Amino acid sequence: MKKLLQPRLLAAAALAAGAAPATAATAVFFAPTTPYLSSADIPAGFYAGGLPTLLETLEDGSLDATLSASRGSLIGPGAFNGTRDSVDGDDGMIDGSCGPQATVCASWFDSSGSLGLRFTFIGSGALPTAFGVAWTDASPGASVTFSATGLDGQSLGSITVSGLADNSVSDTTAEDRFFGVTFSGGVQSIFISTSSGGIEVDHIQYGAMAPVPEPGSWALLAAGLAGMAGCKRRHTARA
């Protein structure tokens, strides 16, 4: 039985110690407690316009050229049938499974979850400001740790979620979860690891983060509303 997990949105402090506070930007980590069964489960408020620039489902048989992986390999049709664990909807059906099919359901796997997987943006142009992945499998009881780096390897923080992994290493999908981070200063890489056994992921993705109101703009808005209320009261008193 799964236990209830952290709040839907886990926010964490971000700027690495000693990093110049050039902006008030803070990395925000997303770890929804509901399953990621297709790209429709990307959390609201993650990407500008709701969708990533790149969604690497791995169903084309290779990792996109704008991404590098520190470890692991693509496992596709014909390999690990019954235990390969792709995102559920990659076979066109949300049916609690994606793995044994002959022509679809690819994922990314490494036998060492503790060494983890780092996906780095190596494309041209500006870094993405939102970067995520769908974790799909680990050994029973393993916890999942997700972290990210910004420009020049600056740490953006990390989160750890325990109690996710079910008691199966087959292609069960109800345990699958989205992990992502947004940072206006740019996200160079994401790293995901598990405390024991292997690790499997899918839907590596990045894009532009959804705009977040600056705390200052909230303060200005609140002050403006308070001022309007004051004017109305004065106007009412004179009337």
Give the span between the Cα atoms of 132 and 112, in whole angstroms. 20
Which lies closer to Ca ion via its Cβ, residue 150 or residue 177?
A: 177
Query: In this chain, which stretch among 19-27, 38-46, 103-111, 121-129 interacts with Ca ion, using CB under 5 A?
Result: 103-111
What whole-number distance in Å separates Cα of residue 101 and Cα of residue 103?
6
- Residues 4-33 within binding reach of Ca ion (CB under 5 A): none
CB of 170 to Ca ion, least distance (A): 8
Segment near Ca ion (CB under 5 A); pick from 7-15, 23-31, 66-74, 173-181: 173-181
d(CA 40, CA 55): 12
Closest residue to Ca ion, judged by C-beta, is: 86
Contacts of 150 (CB under 8 A, 6+ apart): 27, 127, 156, 183, 185, 186, 187, 188
If the CB atoms of residues 14 and 201 are measured against Ca ion, the closer one turns out to be 201
Instruction: Show the binding pattern over residues 41-80: x = contacts Ca ion (CB under 5 A), - = does not.
Output: ----------------xx----------------------
Among 90, 128, 164, 188, binds Ca ion (CB under 5 A): 90
Cα-to-chain-centroid distance, residue 150: 15
Q: How far apart are CA 127 and CA 124, in angstroms?
A: 8
**φ, ψ (nearest 5 deg) of residue 90:** -65, -15
Q: Which one of residues 43, 85, 119, 169 is an interface residue with Ca ion (CB under 5 A)?
A: 85
